Chain A
């Protein structure tokens, strides 16, 4: 079955840039979306179609994709950005949708 691989954790100091990667064989052909989940809360969409930001999401969140890797970047990370982040996409045939393994972002 299809898999999306993320680093388990990323740590960053406040005001610095955090980059979270998502690796998958079909990412050259399929868009990724990204979700932020704070402790005890439902996930929130922060990026869709690789790089589009929904209304209400701060500009410090951006997305990109190159080859088999999609990247979520938090520029000038804030303490409130501490959360788990998940990428989401599908295989080339769009049969199997999957979330990535998840990355815990710590800002301190």
Chain B
């Protein structure tokens, strides 16, 4: 059974750096077709794709958040880590990680974690 689980702080202060971890099971990050994406959703708003890391270690970032985001993976621990610097209240959201399966042309997210809610407040 493929599962992904997000973990990290529930509350962060403005200007702090958010670090989220996605722990996967049921598939390997060594797999040549499977990576991990991060997506967020502010309360009552649309999904926003943030970043992904693909099997060949290719990384892509949201154009609007590129300067604040870093994605990395520890294959031996089956974990993918996302950092978002200089947090602001507008970054309050539910953060999801999802398996990114490399298709014919681009990746799609076929299994999702349940999400973790992060609030930014002083």
Contacts and interface: CB of A to CB of B under 8 A. Distances in A.
Nearest to A1: B63
**Contact count band on B:** 20 to 34
Interface size class on chain A is 20 to 34
A90 B49 CA distance: 11
A31 interface: yes
B46 interface: yes
A89 B112 CA distance: 17
B31 to A, nearest CB: 17
A34 to B, nearest CB: 9
Contacts of A1: 63-64
Contact of A97 (B49, B96, B110, B112): B49
B108 A48 contact: yes
Interface string B65-108: 00000000000000000000000000000001010000111111
A96 B98 CA distance: 17
Nearest to B4: A42
Contact of A31 (B47, B103, B109, B114): B103
Interface stretch (A9-17, A70-78, A98-106): A98-106
Given A45-B108, A97-B62, A102-B46, 5 more contacts: A42-B112, A42-B115, A45-B110, A48-B108, A101-B46
